[in-house]
């Protein structure tokens, strides 16, 4: 399929401040219009879009940051930037769960090393094998690990960020506030890409170029993902 993972889109009330937080958190640069990109020009960027919708549940999609060799120092730096500790029922785990200034959960992984600071992008999945097959087709990435915890997809072995999909699955009371954004690999291929996504298991929604994956998670197909259009 001729689509690629272009961005993770995040709704926010104060797009400028949210983009600034994540630029400092990851060491990325602000490209304007709510877009934050890796300094090294990585393929996946963050796109913050304005929304007045309140956050009513745990996000099904979240980021995992690299804690490197000094996880405590990394967590302290993030707290100083405006993050806060979060309890989502994680119990006694080796990673730290934090939330950004607008309550979006993310994790800091001890020992994880990623050149751009972003180690993993994680999405809840009740059926990781099925979700792995769909998102492998949608992104062109390969499933490189499987286990009771879920599946991992990567564009190539050892390349970060990876996609991790597995349980538990958060409730979904409304349209997801955090979504994947796919882009056509070649300009002008959007309709062919849309047909391919549907054939792979996606469903169209009433929104233009908005689809749901096999477990009902919204995502966008965008020939220009940097435009900052709203998620719904």
| Residue 127: predicted pLDDT | 98
| Cα–Cα nearest to 75, from 40, 102, 84 | 84
Q: What is the CATH number of domain 3-227?
A: 3.10.180.10
Pairing verdict, β 162-166 and 118-124? parallel
Mean pLDDT of 4-24: 96
Confidence band for 223, pLDDT divided at 50, 70 and 90: low
> Is the model's pLDDT at 224 over the cut of 70?
no
**Could you report the per-residue pLDDT of 28-46, keeping only the tens digit for each?**
999 999 999 998 767 799 9
> Is the model's pLDDT at 73 over the cut of 50?
yes
Confidence band for 2, pLDDT divided at 50, 70 and 90: confident
Percent of the chain with pLDDT over 70: 93
**Could you report the per-residue pLDDT of 161-184, keeping only the tens digit for each?**
999 999 999 999 999 999 999 998
Mean pLDDT of 208-218: 95
> Is the model's pLDDT at 228 over the cut of 50?
no
> At which residue do the structure tokens 């707290």 appear?
79
Spell out the domain ranges in the chain: 3-227
């Amino acid at each position: 399929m001729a689509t690629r993972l272009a961005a993770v889109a995040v709704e926010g009330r104060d797009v400028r401040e949210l983009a600034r937080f994540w630029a400092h958190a990851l060491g990325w640069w602000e490209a304007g219009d709510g877009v934050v990109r890796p300094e090294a020009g990585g393929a996946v960027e963050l796109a913050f879009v304005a929304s007045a919708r309140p956050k009513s549940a745990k996000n099904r999609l979240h980021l995992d940051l690299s804690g490197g060799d000094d996880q405590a120092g990394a967590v302290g730096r993030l707290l100083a930037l405006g993050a806060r500790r979060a309890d989502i029922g994680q119990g006694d785990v080796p990673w730290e769960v934090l939330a950004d200034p607008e309550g979006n959960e993310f994790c800091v992984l001890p020992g994880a090393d990623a050149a751009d600071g972003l180690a993993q992008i994680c999405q809840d999945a009740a059926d990781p094998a099925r979700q792995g097959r769909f998102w492998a087709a949608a992104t062109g990435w390969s499933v490189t690990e499987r286990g009771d915890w879920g599946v991992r997809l990567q564009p190539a072995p050892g390349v970060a960020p990876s996609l991790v999909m597995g349980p538990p699955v958060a409730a979904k009371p409304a349209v997801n506030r955090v979504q994947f954004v796919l882009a056509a690999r070649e300009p002008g291929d959007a309709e062919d890409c849309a047909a391919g996504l549907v054939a792979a298991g996606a469903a169209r929604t009433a929104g233009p170029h908005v689809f749901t994956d096999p477990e009902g998670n919204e995502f966008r197909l965008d020939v220009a993902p940097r435009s900052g259009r709203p998620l719904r």
